[in-house]
């Protein structure tokens, strides 16, 4: 897979599964340099009562130990929060693909300033889906971002 | 427990357990406003083959869902990396106690600039212990911080 929109579909599927489970609908996936899928994951704060599982950290865990992340692509349906932006920066992901940053801008500018390539696909479907979740479940959403 | 040095002992014990397990010797603990221990954890990259488990993220997970972190104290044997500094900032921990920042400075200044109270105890024991680990196991250490 070399098309960012196709990669985002993997993350979006994870987000939709999470939504169906009653969870925060953020999904993520990690791809290798030649576009192969290494892992995918989703936020499971609600499902597992575990606040450490954001979409990005779940995909990161599921990719196992990697010696380098610079050629890998982190794809996430929603702009990464500070926690997940810190993950991207610490481990040196070269590229981050973001489904949308309208409902939450996260650390996108900070990552760009640190030299990470950030591609924002501004998906209307995801903007609507996440916006709907925040309206319907503000308590869970604000808990998830520590507000 | 209201004494930061006593709190650090809990994190240090976790780090020493990790060292004995052949892991990266970083431990952490989270305390409530009145000094009660909420959770502790340690880096388990090696033990569980899981790169997402840093000391701080392990303690965070083990504390379960919390509505607010502003009155909580995150104690860690080593200055938090970007990943763990991002965690602290996103969830709004009011205070971070750091065992040492000589072997790794992490995001300590960034957290201070963001208004987090950072107390660096500059423990000679921890400086020596972590320095020894980095000398003995540079491959694991640099993998752990994505270098």
Quote ipTM for the complex: 0.96
- Give the Cβ contact number of residue A122 at 10 Å: 12
The pLDDT of residue B140:
94
- Give the Cβ contact number of residue A77 at 10 Å: 32
Say yes or no to pLDDT of B2 above 70. Answer: no
Count of residues in chain A: 147
Residues of B engaging A, defined by a Cβ cutoff of 8 Å: 45, 49-52, 57, 60-61, 63-69, 81-87, 89-92, 107, 143, 145-147
- Domain count along chain A: 1
Q: Can you say how many angstroms the Cα of residue B41 is from the centroid of all Cα atoms in its chain?
A: 9
- DSSP letter for A140, please: H
pLDDT band at A1 (very low <50, low <70, confident <90, very high): low
Residues of A engaging B, defined by a Cβ cutoff of 8 Å: 45, 49-52, 57, 60-61, 63-69, 81-87, 89-92, 107, 143, 145-147
Choose from B62, B70, B107, B146 for mutation: most chain A CBs within 10 A. B146
User: Strand B73-76 relative to strand B95-98: parallel, antiparallel, unpaired?
Assistant: parallel
- DSSP letter for A137, please: -
Region B38-56: what's the mean pLDDT? 97
Boundaries of domain holding A14: 4-145
At A109-136, the pLDDT tens digits run 999 999 999 999 999 999 999 999 999 9
pLDDT band at B1 (very low <50, low <70, confident <90, very high): low
pLDDT band at A9 (very low <50, low <70, confident <90, very high): very high
Cβ within 8 Å of residue A142, ≥6 positions away = none
- DSSP letter for B76, please: E
Q: In CATH, what number is assigned to the domain containing residue B111?
A: 3.40.140.10
Numbers of helices and strands, H then E, in chain B: 7, 5
Cβ within 8 Å of residue A43, ≥6 positions away = A18, A23, A24, A25, A26, A27, A53, A54, A55, A58, A144
Choose from B43, B50, B51 for mutation: most chain A CBs within 10 A. B51
Q: Residue B44 and residue B50: Cα distance in Å, rounded?
A: 7
At B64-113, the pLDDT tens digits run 999 899 999 999 999 999 999 999 999 999 999 999 999 999 999 999 99
At A12-29, the pLDDT tens digits run 999 999 999 999 999 999
Long-range CB pairs of B125-132, under 8 A, 24+ apart, other chains included: B125/B12, B126/B12, B126/B15, B126/B77, B126/B78, B126/B99, B126/B100, B127/B100, B127/B102, B127/B103, B129/B15, B129/B16, B129/B19, B129/B25, B130/B25, B130/B26, B130/B77, B130/B78, B130/B100, B130/B103, B130/B104, B131/B102, B131/B103
The pLDDT of residue A2:
63
At A81-111, the pLDDT tens digits run 999 999 999 999 999 999 999 999 999 999 9
Q: Residue B87 and residue B52: Cα distance in Å, rounded?
A: 12
């Amino acid at each position: 897979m070399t098309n960012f929109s196709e990669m985002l579909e993997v993350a979006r599927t994870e987000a939709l599964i999470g939504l169906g489970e009653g969870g925060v609908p953020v999904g993520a996936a990690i791809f290798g340099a030649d576009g192969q899928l290494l892992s995918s994951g989703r936020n499971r704060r609600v499902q597992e009562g575990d606040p450490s599982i954001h979409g990005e950290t779940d995909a990161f865990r599921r990719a196992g130990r990697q010696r380098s992340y610079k050629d890998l692509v982190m794809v996430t349906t929603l702009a990464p929060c500070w926690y997940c932006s810190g993950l991207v920066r610490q481990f040196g992901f070269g590229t981050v693909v973001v489904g949308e940053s309208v409902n939450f801008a996260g650390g996108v500018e900070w990552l760009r300033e640190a030299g990470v390539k950030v591609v924002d696909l501004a998906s209307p479907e995801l903007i609507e889906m996440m916006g709907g979740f925040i309206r319907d479940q503000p308590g869970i959403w604000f808990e998830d971002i520590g507000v």
